[in-house]
Chains A and B, each alone.
Chain A
Amino acid sequence: MTKTFHIYRSSAGSGKTRTLAKRYILLALSKQPEYFRFILAVTFANKATQEMKSRILEYLDDFANGRPNNLSGEIKTELHIDDDTLQAKSREVLSYILHKYSQFSISTIDAFFQRVIRSFTREAGLMGNFRLEVDTDYVLDEVIAALMDDLGPERQDLTDWVVQFSRERLQEGENWNVEFQLKMFAKEIFKEQFKTVEDRILGSENILEDNRRMLDFLQTEVNTYRNYMRTKASEALRILDENNIKVSDFSYGDIGTIYAWFRDLSLGKSRSRDSKRIEASVLGPTDWFKKGIYREKYLAIAESKIMPIVRDMVAYDDENSIISRTAIQVLKNFYAFGLITDITRKLRDYREENNLLILADASKFLNGVINNSDTPFVYEKVGSYYRNYLIDEFQDTSLFQWKNFTPLLREAGDQNYFSLIVGDVKQSIYRWRSGDLEILQKHVVNEFGEVRTEIVPLDTNFRSAGNIVDFNNTMFKAAAARVATHVNDNLPVEVFAEAEQKKSKWLDSGFVRMKFFERNEEDEGWEEQAMRMIPTWMEQLQDKGAKQKEIAIIVRKNEEGQRIAQYLLNFRNTPEAKPGYSYEVVSNESLRLDTSLSVNIIISALKFLKNTQDRVSRGQLAYELAGTPADDLFIKAGSKDRFEDTLPPKFLDRLKHFKQLSLFELTEEIIQLFGLGEKPEELAYLQAFQDLILEFSARERTDINSFLEWWEMYKARKSIKVSSSIDAANIVTIHGSKGLQYKYVIIPFCNWRFGHESSTPLMWITPTEKPFNQLGALALRFSTDLKRTQFEAAYQEEYVKVYLDNLNLLYVAFTRAEWGLIVTGPVSNSGRMNFVGEVVQAVLQEKYPFQFNGVEFSVGEINTMPDQWVKTDIIERKLDRYPSTDWREKLVIKREGSEFFEDEVSEKRSKINRGILIHTVLSRIEYKTDAEEKLIQFFLEHALPNEDIEAVRKDVYSVLDHPVMSNWFTKEWEIKAEALVLLPGGTQKRIDRIMLGKKRTVIVDYKTGERKSADRDQIEVYARVLTQMGYPNVQAFLVYLKDMKLDEVISNSTFNLFG
């Protein structure tokens, strides 16, 4: 069997994109030129999609034009073709791709799934123009609020549950307001872990009732245990008391002693034998008491009277504590858990009402479609059919995504088509977004079988200089081993088994610097010191010729990036900043929009417009505009009658006008009014903010209130997007740096905790052991309290993964560097393993005893990377102004309504301007003989009420039968109706009716209004034109339809044109 299914195990810098592009090109070039349409390449992020597309196109463009590049050799060899063939083929394929671009299928997983879903909208109960919602926070707010609104007699079960939930929280001394708690909990329902158990949980009909029963059961479990222990412990305390034995008689008093154990248990607390001291004490009283005269006596009492109780307690505890502890853990989230059905239901309503598809739901939904249908049908409906699949970043694939792909891949495999997945388990850092590295690590091969599968390691590093490759090889092998030992699980070692990479270039170049800080004499913490080092690193690099923009500062969290950005910003203006050096930094995240003056002006103006009584925004607006609190500005702003002094009158005068504008236009007018576009340093912000508004304006609700609510929720995440062309060091998070590379990398805060991404997640567990196995799936929050419960295994599994996540993050961060890697953190020699910095230093100590002195570590010389400068012909352009003007002064919308509402409206609705109708129909009638036909046609076109039909007909005939005019409608004349005359110079005239006789020419203009002198002027012009055209004896008539009067304006007998 040919191995048609390839798994490429890539490592950092192993040329993954290039490999994929190469595979794509090989496939595309090896068959007929249109073959590319059978290939689907899937990437993880939008940026990667674009990069992949342009790489392929560029390669092909090079080949097609005979330009040398680094891939052509390999392609020729593999396809056994010569230069000319390559050139010809490439040209052909490139053309095909460019012109059948819709079939150039390279997309993200999400985009691909979206496409499929779009063709199943009817089946999905979605309306086709649904909006894709990515942010779920806002949605959840609405959903939870709607749920709370439901409380009341109609939902007694729900009400009872929520009330009890609140009361319980109150009694635990926690915030009784359960909404926040519910919101946190509800976030989980967007995660895949939940989706996998969703059906099981939501299946039950009477879920709240079931849950109530369960709750009783759990509470009983806990209480039985507590009561037993309390009774026994109280008994023990009573005996001690009776015998006058006091806390002070115990060695160590009540700190971790058996006394403390008794006491806590007697108060009804759940306390396990959680200290060594207690564990020892329950075996016998020998070490219970302090030395003293009564010690012997106490020992006797303890042995005879208390130890029997203790033995009972230990026996009971051993048997029951796991269950009770488990029950306690289950109870922790049980109230919120109980509401999950209701939340889900509300969410569904919300989605429907707003016609949304929540991105997180997409793969589950698709799973439903694919599951009960065979794939070919699905893709037939989509209209594209693939043979080869090339999937990138597979380590971040989620279970559902995998399930959605499996049938496709299997189908392709069955037909012997080649497919390929690429991934690096070491770079799996999206577990919090349901990425599951085990799919790549294990499931794939299991699914397709080893016979079909070929595993190809991509083990050469094309990115980094030799010294860095060597260092990372050493570092991660050792670090993985240490982590594995620490968590007592071999997974980290397996994941990093292929971490070792071959070097490709600059074998002995590149450098690594590490520096670890202790609190110094000035009492500065390590973070301050690390931050203060950054300018020094920059100077050193620039001394060697590095450009500032070649440096990246990689951080774990956004906030850290913002701190560094602020620090460097301030640093620039201190005397320490050395002239001639650049300390510029940029980051996608650190330049928040809400730091901008202009944005603040707009936002406070919007708030003020929303409620002019809001003195906070009033004051803010006044302050932002004035730039100083001087002149008692705030006092005026806060006062009832003087606040107007603080705001420009031109603004206050226009409030009513502003309130009429749409959100977007409103921001434009505010920008214009306050001249915000005149500050060059603000333009980037203004632009980004307006883009945001424009995007928001595509939503269902776009009023000011909705926007402000939304802004409050998301402003912290909105920043300027930075273009890479600017000469400044990039501050990026590790997640943001994934897939990217930088010449010099500084990781200032290399000491994040081996912990979860943000808050600790819920784990969805399906208990298998009694008595909890009757519970179906359960939600448990990860915490050490899960140890010594029935869920210890799940705890352990998660524990290992958390460590692995962070080790992976470290790997991603360290492998971004091409030439230089600089790392700082706190000194640690505790031997603990709570922070990544501790592992790094432990490895340094072990592997680099000579280069590492406990504080500093260094490999290689600091120098600069050989230039690989590519010429760019792109010119930078900036906005030198920010035009913002009022179009209403230039352009108006078409006026049709004024007249409509002029008279009493009800009357208006039935009475249509009859004059116009008659005018229209008369202009169409050429001869009396065709009048009836034209009338009927006309009535058909304008569904008129009967009375109008009659009236129009009557009026029309009074013209046709008019003593003078009746002659006009005879065959004696050649008629031009609604005739258009073109006049030199570009204008034209439309004349209602022209009658051409042998000797005479008659012009008729029908008029619906009152007599105006302009009527005559106009028709005289007509007459002149006709004469100019060579018509003989032009006569002209005005017909006033209102009273059926005929005015002869020009008579050939009396008026001789042009003499």
Chain B
Amino acid sequence: MTPFLKELAEQMIREHPKLDELTFVFPNRRAALYFENYLARALKKPQWAPALFSIEEFFKRHSDLREPDKLTLIFKLYQVYTSVLNNNESFDRFYFWGEMLLRDFDEIDKYLVNAPQLFKDLSKIKELDETFDYLTEEQKSFLKDFWIHFSDKPSATKDEFLFMWKKLPKVYTEFTKALKKESLGYEGMLHRDVAESFSKKIPAAVRNSRFIFAGFNALTKAEEKVISILVANGAKIYWDADEYYVENDLQEAGQFMREYRKHEHLASTFDAALPKHFLESQKNISLTAVPQRIGQAKLAGLEIADILKTLPKDDLPVELSKTVIVLPDESMLLPMMHSLPDELRDINVTMGFPLRDTPLFNLLDQVIEMQVRKRSASFRHREVNAILGHAYFLTLAEKEAQERIAQIVRNNRVYVPIDELLGDDPIFATIFRFVESAQATDYLLEIVEHLGARLTDKKSFDREYAYHFHQHISRLHSIFSVSEKAPDWRGFQKLFRQVMMMQKIPFTGEPLRGLQIMGVLETRNLDFDNVIILSLNEGQLPSPPRQGSYVPHAIRRAYGLPTWQHQDAIYAYLFYRLLQRASNVSFYYSTEPDVIGNGEMSRYLQQVIMESKLPMQKRVLHNPIHVHAIHPIVVDKTPTVMQVLDKFVNETPEMRSLSPSSLNDYIECSLRFYLKHVAQMREADEVEEDVDARILGSILHDVAFWLYQEFRDTRGGAVNPDDLNIPDERIDKLIDRAFREFYHMAYNEEIVYEGKRIVVKEVVRTFVRKVLERDAEYAPFEIRMLEQDFNETIDLTSGKRVRVGGKIDRADASRGTVRVVDYKTGNDELKFDDIESLFNGDSKHNKAAFQTILYAYVYFLHNNSPVEKIQPGLMNRNSLFGRDFKFGLKAGGSKEPMEDVKPMLQEFGQRLHQVVEEIYDPKVPFAQTSNLKSCTWCPYRALCRR
């Protein structure tokens, strides 16, 4: 089918030999561009082009007012608003509300409504009498509908509403006055301005031009007025209408046309018979239901690939330009772009690349968050790390950045002092500094300028990103420079996000060549052979009702302001119009509702299906579903593996030893042992933000060690009950010291206890006190070992001597019993079944028992006194704080602690030997455990699919 604009172009050429005598006005710039192209293509020889305007350009041209950007407008509104209401709401909080007010004002002007009248408080007025003559009966009834509710009981909600309502006329008047003073105006003001001046007198230049308006549908009152005046003056209008929706009174798509057909000035501009393209032109329609969104993009991509195959190669871009993909849901842009066929090169995208998807947004957002969360002289490590790891840092100062990160991790800096964030590269000083929120925009501008100047890679878009951010931040900057009260960083962040989230960077592309990807509004007036529309769901098309208005529905109706019906009708027209001349149409919609129920098929589709009776192919996307089988992971002991395993063998260079916990790992799951201890596949060190069990354990061990070290060093380990009367201050000092060591702080540096550290400190103190209390009950005793390292070798049949090593927390002796003590802060159990169970990785495996018995075994190997019993046990929270503390592990279901472990040690030794033999047995591979419980906290769960 011939596109509307092409048809028009050809007609114009036929009818007007001198095109440059005409002035065309279209709803938007894109239509003008297409029209111009169609004109040129239809010409036989060069000709002067006619004047071409979008309606906005037309208004701008004839008004003396200039339209500033939205941010500036909202800020100016903010200034007026706060002074009228005499309040000090912050700008960031006002922003959204300001947007809404601005929208309301804009509509009031575009619809030429008398604002003071509209904002009149009628709550006290019983009758709408003669003074309301300017109102029709219908208007009055709408108003009554609303205001009647104020006559009965008052309520807080109503009071609040009224309070604001009464202020609005003043806000409106002052605001528009202030703008006019600077020759500024928002769109609506321009409209009203032109409409009013034209009704007084048509400017001479206009009077003498021959105007042609084309492709219009919904006109604002101001537009209607201006166009009517020009029509009376000889202007022509060409409507792009179809009988299908205009002649049927219920079709909302034709609502406006039907009105204009009866309009006193506009009626004459309609042809008697409307085209019937919608029903009569041949169409292939398909309709595909897709679960959710991505599938739609992928299918559309495949469809484009199919179309591409059929196109002649010689003039591909032009051929392709007959195909459009319409994206009612903006967030589908990138999914769609990524789904286009590889071989497709010519694309034109009318939507922009979202600024929020750029790396620079990411960086600035982190920087702001860092400032939001900063403490006196330090930044939170999370943001600092993210910034240091950001692509830009890696580009500019990779080595230094990595060093800083390593240092932060090493020192476990939850909050990183600014002076630890210095670097030779100037980027450090640019970003890591203490900035007050009042300087926020200066700060960000400096960062952006710095990056803009230094990111010189010509191929990347980094400078473009920087440029756009520069523009937007500058705007914020100029606003804050005249504002008395800067928002705090939180507020600034909100504002920043609000402003940036919406921004787009335009793509380059030739508008009339290649595959077209557009939003719904941009398709206005354009026709394509192949139309692909995605996201045909309620909530997307029509888009959800605009976000709020302070003018209640009834009052909007009374004064003829647009309501949601208006918007629905606009979208309906856009939808039907796009179809009427198309030959191939593909609809896609999602079948999955979101939380709040969007996900219903679009009403327009329902209408087409139920009413048009056009043939339609219905499809549903269904990918075969495959349930994943689990493939076991088995690692054979190859020569390399054996070689690495040798690091635990005596006389090899590494001189590592098997620790009790690595043996525990092996017993529970040999694969885990392999991955963690042989392959060293460990998680990266990170700053431990959560002062977790590990830190608690470490600090407790240190403090206990220092406390008893004194006895060991000064008097051969003898401890008497009285010795254990240790003052709190001493314990506190030791805790401080332990914290300092943990965080690599200088010995004289003061530690601040904040957040969870406070809790840890208290818990350690409680723990230590309890240990001392229990020890005092037990004293006198003699300290034999404290934090004692040991290393044993186990001789294998292969001749290898394997090292097993660890550290014994404490061994003490009293009354013929040697206790081997292990401090535990977790929830370890004292019970175990028997020695065998310690070497069996099922759920009953007691790791702590294995470990302490191993210690006892080692103690026994070196200090085998026939008269002494050896009693391994834990000082853990369960036993220490229990009602009756009894030291020692409990074997085989007994309630009483085991007094002497010696009789078990032989079996223990043998089994230990066996395990180590097995580790070095090349025939036994490392494999996954069958006990799923072991996997619960395993770092390799995702790998194992457990």
Contacts and interface: CB of A to CB of B under 8 A. Distances in A.
Given A122-B550, A632-B638, A619 B331 contact: no
B288 A694 contact: no
B149 A377 contact: yes
Contacts of A162: 758-759
Contacts of B156: 372-373
Contacts of A638: 675, 679-682
B568 to A, nearest CB: 6
B910 interface: no
Nearest to B925: A629
B151 to A, nearest CB: 11
A974 to B, nearest CB: 12
A984 B40 contact: yes
B945 interface: yes
B590 to A, nearest CB: 9
B629 interface: yes
A110, A122, A876, most chain B CB atoms within 10 A: A122
Contacts of A683: 623
Interface string A710-746: 0000000000111101100000000000000000000
A893 B302 contact: no
Interface string A364-392: 00000100111011101111100000000
Contacts of A384: 553
Which of A176, A595, A664, A726 has its CB near the most chain B CB atoms (within 10 A)? A176
Interface in B19-60: 19, 36-37, 39-41, 43-49
A149 B352 CA distance: 41
B264 interface: no
Interface stretch (B420-428, B459-467, B786-794): B459-467
Interface residues of B, number: 183
Given A665-B338, A982-B39, A381 B626 contact: no
Given A132-B596, A680-B624, A173 B877 contact: yes
Contact of B508 (A570, A661, A878, A892): A892
A941 B682 contact: no
Contacts of B756: 148, 151
Contact of B506 (A119, A377, A894): A894
B651 interface: no
Given A383-B563, A619-B675, A656-B391, A883 B759 contact: no
B337 interface: yes
B464 A355 contact: no
A941 B46 contact: no
Contacts of B898: none
Contacts of A377: 149-150, 155, 157-158
Interface stretch (B276-284, B610-618, B738-746): B610-618
Contacts of B883: 267-269
Contacts of B943: 616, 619-620, 623
A121 interface: yes
B272 interface: no
Interface in A132-153: 132, 134, 148-152
B291 interface: yes
B678 interface: yes
A170 B40 contact: no
Contacts of A120: 157
Contacts of A134: 595
Interface string B298-341: 11011001000000000000000000000000010011011111
B564 A102 contact: yes
A596 to B, nearest CB: 6
A686 to B, nearest CB: 8
A99 B759 contact: no
A988 B40 contact: yes
B942 A600 contact: yes
Contacts of B395: 656
Interface string A875-906: 11111111111110011111111101100111
Interface in A1011-1031: 1025-1026, 1028-1029
A982 B619 contact: no
A705 B635 CA distance: 32
A163 to B, nearest CB: 5
A603 interface: yes
Interface residues of A, number: 178
B942 A594 contact: yes
A874 interface: yes
B36 A611 contact: no
Interface in A349-370: 353, 355, 359, 369
Interface string B132-173: 000000000000011001101101111011001000000000
Given A47-B593, A57-B610, A659-B394, A163 B884 contact: no
Interface stretch (A123-131, A444-452, A760-768): A123-131
Given A374-B149, A619-B679, A885-B340, A129 B96 contact: yes
Most A C-beta atoms less than 10 A away, residue of B157, B362, B685, B756: B157
A892 B507 contact: yes
Nearest to A884: B338
B552 interface: yes
Contact of B882 (A173, A662, A682): A173
B157 A378 contact: yes
Given A132-B596, A615-B684, A883-B301, A635 B679 contact: yes
B944 to A, nearest CB: 10
Interface stretch (B187-195, B221-229, B599-607): B599-607
Contacts of A900: 452, 463, 467, 470
Given A167-B762, A374-B149, A661-B359, 16 more contacts: A46-B596, A110-B597, A123-B160, A128-B100, A134-B595, A163-B758, A173-B881, A374-B153, A380-B146, A620-B942, A623-B633, A634-B674, A635-B644, A885-B338, A893-B464, A941-B66
A897 B942 contact: no
A634 B45 CA distance: 73
Nearest to B452: A901
Interface stretch (B342-350, B436-444, B523-531, B797-805): B342-350
Interface stretch (A315-323, A334-342, A696-704, A809-817): A696-704
Contact of A876 (B93, B463, B498, B622): B622
Contacts of A629: 633-635
A101 interface: yes
B256 interface: no
A690 B595 contact: no
A809 to B, nearest CB: 24
Highest count of chain A CB atoms <10 Å: which of B95, B251, B298, B568:
B298
A529 interface: no
B935 to A, nearest CB: 14
Given A665-B338, A688-B292, A725-B622, A99 B251 contact: yes
A656 B455 CA distance: 14
B48 A895 contact: no
Contact of A985 (B36, B40, B692): B40
Contact of B762 (A166, A566, A680): A166
B814 to A, nearest CB: 25
A1025 B46 contact: yes
A880 to B, nearest CB: 7
Contacts of B346: 890
Nearest to A873: B618
Nearest to B456: A901
A616 B683 contact: yes
B220 interface: no
A976 interface: yes
Contacts of B352: 893
Given A637-B679, A898-B458, A177 B622 contact: no
B620 interface: yes
Contacts of B600: 49-50, 53
A171 B626 contact: no
Given A98-B610, A380-B145, A687 B619 contact: no
Contacts of B623: 680, 683-684, 687, 878-879
B213 interface: no
